[in-house]
Amino acid sequence: MAEIQFSKGVKEDVIPDVKVTRSKTGNTGTATFYFEDPKILSKESSDEITGMYLVDDEGEIYSKEVKGKFINGEARAIEAVLIMKSADEFERFVRFMNKYAEENGLGKS
């Protein structure tokens, strides 16, 4: 099980675009997630966004860097940034993303 949540216990079904950078030393990194029309922003959702949670069998990775993107005054996207401050945090993120990609059929042609 590997899923992304914006409210604890509420799985986000929209698959994000993810851009990852890593420092030359490999000690730090940043992952930027972009969700277009995520379920959490739908009119049917009453859940509150409390952060971005990457949840799998190893536990949870958390980021509070979550911003809404508005088009014509309407929330249409979410951009979330995860900052990894050590090589261990980066490797943990990679393990999560590998599980997430496998479960969601990403990376296969």
What CATH number does residue 94 fall under?
2.40.30.220
Q: Domain count of the chain?
A: 1
Q: What per-residue string of b and e applies to 29-64 under the rule 16 or more CB within 10 Å gives b?
A: bebebebeebebbeeeeebebeebbbbbeeeebebe
16 occurs within a structural domain? yes
Per-residue pLDDT of the chain (109 residues; tens, 9 = 90+): 999 999 999 999 999 999 999 999 888 999 999 999 999 998 888 889 999 999 999 999 999 999 999 988 888 999 999 999 999 999 999 999 999 999 988 865 4
26 occurs within a structural domain? yes
Whole-prediction pTM value?
0.91
Residue numbers of the domain that contains 28: 2-103
46 occurs within a structural domain? yes
